[in-house]
Each structure stands twice: as structure tokens, then as C-alpha cells.
Homo-oligomer: A and B are copies of this chain.
Amino acid sequence: MPLTAAQQRTVNAAVDLFAEHGVGGTSLQMIADAVGVTKAAVYHQFKTKEEIVLAVAEGELARVEAALEIAEAEATPAAARDVLLEQMVALAIERRHMESTLLSDPVIVRFFAEHEPFRAVMGRLARVLMADERGREARVRAAMLTAAIGGAVMHPLVAELDDKTLRTQLLHLARSFLDLPD
């Protein structure tokens, strides 16, 4: 179900505010003020705050799905995995400038853990990431790699690196973690 114009304005404002103050730290009043309407007007667009969070999360999910589409179009599992690595790194780099807490927010995390559509996408992501491997080691490796790319961009240690350098290093080290050539 596509969003109406008013809903889209609300979501856009919410994304910025969630990224800056966290979901729990963002009130409907703040969102309403940012859009330039009243609380009740926002509440009319989305029946609950959770629905706004859901819309924001779905927006994020859509980007991951787009990355998956590109990767899964490759001919071999190995090629798909490598393309997915590039996509994941690119998404993570974009994300780093939203003060953000957006994906580490418990509320968002809960959505990604509980709602089936999110789990399905995460399953696809894991499958491509593991290529043709199957064992425990491959699972742990995929879990670590996902966490490493997503978490490293927010780490103070890399705060001073510019986007291009960080992107190159992340991709290089991710490949080396998988014993892939550069």
C-alpha cells in the first residue's frame, strides 16, 4: 500500500528525527512540528506511533531488498555474494551520517526480529552471503560479517576516515574475512 502525500511528509520528517533523537526520544509533537501540523493531524495519518516506525522500517527494508535484487541477478552464488558485499557496504556508509541509532534502536530491532517480511529479507540476505556454504561456521561468519559492516561505520575508531576511504577498507576487509580476492 503506497503512502499518501501527507503520509510521506510525515515519514520523511520522522526518519530525520528518529536518526537524531532515537525512536523513543522522538514525540509525535516533534514530528508534527517538523511537518508543520498538529499532533492530531499526524495521528490521523498513522493510528499509532508504531505505524510510523513501521513505515520508516519498511523504507529501510526496501533499500535492502533493492540491493538483494541486484545481487541475486548475478550468475553464480560467488558473484552474487560479492555484489551483495558492495551493496551492504554502500548502504552502511550512507547510514553513518544519520547520528543513528536508527538500526540499533530496540524498537526497530524488534520489528526486524518479529515481523515476517523482515525476517524473510534477512533470510535471503544470509543465503546470498553464505553463497554455497551450509555449515555452522558459514552461519557464524555471515552473522559476524553483517554485524561488522553495520556496526563498524558507527565506531569512534573510524570517525575520522572519509567515506571513500572507509568504503574501500570495509570492502577490502570484508572480502579478506571471506577469503576472497580483492
Residues on the B chain within 8 Å of A148, using CB: 144-145, 147-148, 151
Copies in the complex: 2
Chain B CB within 8 A of A101 CB: yes
- The 0/1 profile, CB within 8 Å of B marked 1, for residues 157-169 of chain A is 1100100011001
Q: List 16 A-B contacts (CB under 8 A).
A: A24-B24, A25-B106, A101-B109, A105-B106, A122-B156, A137-B169, A140-B161, A140-B173, A141-B173, A143-B157, A144-B173, A144-B174, A146-B152, A147-B147, A148-B148, A173-B177
Residue ranges of A at the interface with B (Cβ–Cβ < 8 Å): 22-25, 101, 104-107, 109, 113, 119, 122, 126, 136-137, 139-152, 154-158, 161, 165-166, 169-170, 172-174, 176-177
